[in-house]
Amino acid sequence: MSSSQSVRSVARAIAILQAMNRQPVSTVDMLHLQTLLPKPTIVRLLRTLEDLHLVRHAPQHGAYYLTSEVRSLSTGYHSEPQIVEAAMSLMDAMTLKVKWPMAIAVFEDNAVVVRYSTIPLSPLALLHSSINMRLSLASRALGRAYLAFCDNEEQEIILDALALSSNAEDAPARDRVTFQELLRDIRSNGFATRSRTVRPVSQTIAVPILVQNRVVATVGLTFFSSVLTDKKAIATYLADLQELARNVSTRLQQLNHSAKDKAISDMNKGLKRQK
């Protein structure tokens, strides 16, 4: 292999990593559009990066995400892929057990956005995919769970923004008094459900993922309304869902501690080399 080819290979690998840093989960098609690299080249590079533990293959066909190992590059790693890494195997295991699809979402610009789902593992999913789907904070279970567990100052700021929203699903937030009562009930009960006016064919139960009393994401389970009542679903799945959220929180804190320990270790190594 010539030196020019070697340099080009490195440049292509960096282009892939930079593109993957723009979204929590990437598909080959997405990377092709963003980098203009041939798909076979992208697949080969992804496999190489996977061998180096910088990238991990998600259950979705052709989907990949960055791992915490990219910290060794001092770039490309942020909270959202860390949340996916902490939650993915736990969500996969629960869906394989109960069959219903699950999703995890994070706050973004007055909505929550799905960053990982177990739809490919579920025989009972209504959608082909929900990754990167934006969901209302006022009507969707994953959004309501986030908003209900925000601190008061953040919640007030978001409610001010939702009051000006033209999105029909944000309409419940315009009746501030009634909606805040709903949020208090959600916080007291420990879970949220979707508004019955949105996709009544199914329902979602969602709970917050808290790290040091701060909501960092929400995770939910979706089921057919014709198969389960809300009461039955809550009695059957809520405890497991809440346990999953606690376990994700624990994993996130462990990942954060590992990152700090590695940063300290790298700093100490650098100081030794300077001596």
**3-state class of 206 per DSSP?**
strand
- Rounded Cα distance between 275 and 263, Å, is 19
**HEC string of 28-91?**
HHHHHHHHCCCHHHHHHHHHHHHHCCCEEECCCCCEEEECHHHHHHCCCCCHHHHHHHHHHHHH
- The band of 256, judged by pLDDT with boundaries at 50, 70 and 90, is confident
User: What pLDDT, on a 0 to 100 scale, did the predictor assign at position 137?
Assistant: 98
Q: Is the pLDDT of residue 187 over 80?
A: yes
Task: Give the architecture (CATH level 2) of 8-74.
Answer: Orthogonal Bundle (1.10)
- The band of 257, judged by pLDDT with boundaries at 50, 70 and 90, is low
User: What pLDDT, on a 0 to 100 scale, did the predictor assign at position 102?
Assistant: 98
pLDDT in tens, 109-148: 899 999 999 999 999 999 888 999 999 999 999 999 999 9
- The band of 79, judged by pLDDT with boundaries at 50, 70 and 90, is low
DSSP string, 96-150: HHH---EEEEEE-SSSEEEEEE-GGG-TT-SSS--TT-EE-TTTSHHHHHHHHTS
The CATH fold assigned to 81-260 is Beta-Lactamase (3.30.450)
Report pTM.
0.69
pLDDT in tens, 232-249: 999 999 999 999 999 999
Domain chopping of the chain, boundaries: 8-74, 81-260
pLDDT in tens, 261-272: 444 454 445 445
- Residue 228, Cβ neighbours under 10 Å: how many? 17
C-alpha dihedral, 206 to 209 to 210 to 215, nearest 10°: -70
Q: Is the pLDDT of residue 2 over 60?
A: no
- Residue 273, Cβ neighbours under 10 Å: how many? 7
Q: If you ran DSSP here, which 8-state letter would residue 169 be given? A: G
